[in-house]
Amino acid sequence: MPPREPVLQKFGHNVREKREALGLSQEALAHAAELDRTYIGGIERGDPHQL
């Protein structure tokens, strides 16, 4: 697995903080955004393959 880039990690962290502040689960956010839950999880982890 390639190393995660700091900017992607920070972006993912921000997405997770905002999602949690809104009281949303990954599943709820994924549904609202018409994405798969695993895609949201990858973004939050800073996975470069998800962006």
Please give the domain boundaries of the chain with CATH numbers for all domains. 6-50 (1.10.260.40)
Is the model more confident about 48 or about 42?
42
Q: Long-range contact list for 45-49, CB < 8 A, 24+ apart? A: 45/4, 45/12, 46/4, 46/5, 46/8, 46/9, 46/10, 46/11, 46/12, 46/13, 47/4, 47/8, 47/12, 48/2, 48/4, 48/5, 48/8
Write out pLDDT tens, residues 20-43: 999 999 999 999 999 999 999 999
pLDDT band at 50 (very low <50, low <70, confident <90, very high): confident
Is the pLDDT assigned to residue 44 strictly greater than 80?
yes
pLDDT band at 3 (very low <50, low <70, confident <90, very high): low
